[in-house]
Amino acid sequence: MKIIDLFKNGKQVISYEVFPPKTSSGFESVQLATKEIAKLNPGFISVTYGASGGTSDYTIDIASDIQKNLDVTSLAHLTCVTSNKETIINQLKKLKENNIENILALRGDLPSHMKDLKSRDYSYASDLMKDINEFGDFCIGGACYPEGHVESEHLVDDIKTIKSKVDMGCKFLITQMFFDNNILYNFLYKLRDAGIDIPVIAGIMPVTNAKQIKRIVELSGTYLPQRFKTVVDKFGHNPKAMAQAGIAYATEQIIGLYANGVNGIHVYSMNKPEIASAIHNNLSEIVNN
């Protein structure tokens, strides 16, 4: 199923993200995690692609397993900045062979040694979207950043980037995580002002251990509201309490978003079915995919 079709009838959709194993020895444990998440009957499960712009050998295998054996729609992430056209075309052929219809087309983070973007086959996600669109018949999604991408000086530059993604065939967006819903609402107003009306799926990260937070802030510069910091200060030293508080915080964010008309939620529960399941149970009367 194409993800865009999930949003046609105004239903609330919840989806989850997993990451592929680094080596074949980790394949089975990722498979087991996705099997548990699939039991929650999500709208789709997305599978990340490498890290820091790198490639991944197992993204398509996991995405294919989700679709073929677990009967859940999958969304394969694909980054381009370290790839050339030939690699991308091969990936697209493999996705087609595995009947994967949805691709989250990304540039990927720039490796520190990479200075000259212009000499590369792919400089930006929109270049990749153009090639996917030309290849044909994929439902293309893109990333967006309600607080602005770290490399963008002004949010208005990001809005222009999103416009170029839509021009290249992007049909939906998934946001970077945020911990204050007002940030998303302001961003949605800006998109609407710019005439961008594709579905925006809100990315929600349940923070279940205090160490995650330092990394999140370093990587994405995400704003942490005082209310969130108070929770971490109080419970961060107690792993079980922090997990419970993090899930409650994420649940409250999700309920607020649904109540305000945001129909798509993507939970960064990673390969942790217990977190996905706790969120799912908290929303059992709210979301019925």
Catalytic residues: 17
- Check binding of 77 to ligand FAD (CB under 6 A): yes
Instruction: Specify the stretch interacting with ligand FAD by CB under 6 A; choose among 68-76, 156-164, 205-213, 278-286.
Output: 156-164
- Check binding of 269 to ligand FAD (CB under 6 A): no
**Can you read off the two tokens belonging to residue 183?**
């940030």
Size of the site for ligand FAD (CB under 6 A): 27
* Residue 65 or 109 having the CB closest to ligand FAD: 109
Candidates 28, 57, 97, 151: give the one binding ligand FAD (CB under 6 A).
151
Q: Draw the binding track, 111-140, toward ligand FAD (x: CB under 6 A; -: no contact).
A: -------------xxx--------------
Candidates 21, 43, 53, 169: give the one binding ligand FAD (CB under 6 A).
53
Candidates 38, 107, 262, 283: give the one binding ligand FAD (CB under 6 A).
107
Count other Cβ atoms within 10 Å, centred on residue 142. 26
**Binding residues for ligand FAD restricted to 173-192, rule: CB under 6 A:** 174, 176
Torsion of CA 53, 91, 202, 246, to 10 degrees: -60
Candidates 64, 79, 82, 269: give the one binding ligand FAD (CB under 6 A).
79
- Check binding of 20 to ligand FAD (CB under 6 A): no
DSSP state of 283: T
* Amino acid letter for position 138: F
- Check binding of 48 to ligand FAD (CB under 6 A): yes
- The residues pairing with 142 across neighbouring beta strands, listed in sequence order, are 173
- The residues pairing with 265 across neighbouring beta strands, listed in sequence order, are 14, 202
CB of 42 to ligand FAD, least distance (A): 15
- Check binding of 91 to ligand FAD (CB under 6 A): no
- Rounded Cα gap, residues 58 and 22, in angstroms: 8
Candidates 87, 152, 277, 282: give the one binding ligand FAD (CB under 6 A).
152
Q: Is 75 helix (H, G, I), strand (E, B) or coil?
A: strand
Question: Where would I find the H helices in the chain?
Answer: 3-6, 27-38, 59-70, 85-97, 125-135, 155-167, 181-193, 210-220, 226-235, 239-259, 273-282
* Amino acid letter for position 230: T
- Check binding of 51 to ligand FAD (CB under 6 A): yes
DSSP state of 179: S
- Rounded Cα gap, residues 123 and 164, in angstroms: 13
* Residue 152 or 212 having the CB closest to ligand FAD: 152
C-alpha torsion sign, points 41, 61, 120, 89: negative
C-alpha torsion sign, points 186, 187, 190, 192: negative
- Check binding of 49 to ligand FAD (CB under 6 A): yes
Binding site for ligand FAD (CB under 6 A): 48-53, 77, 79, 104, 106-109, 124-126, 143, 149, 151-152, 157-158, 161, 164, 174, 176, 203
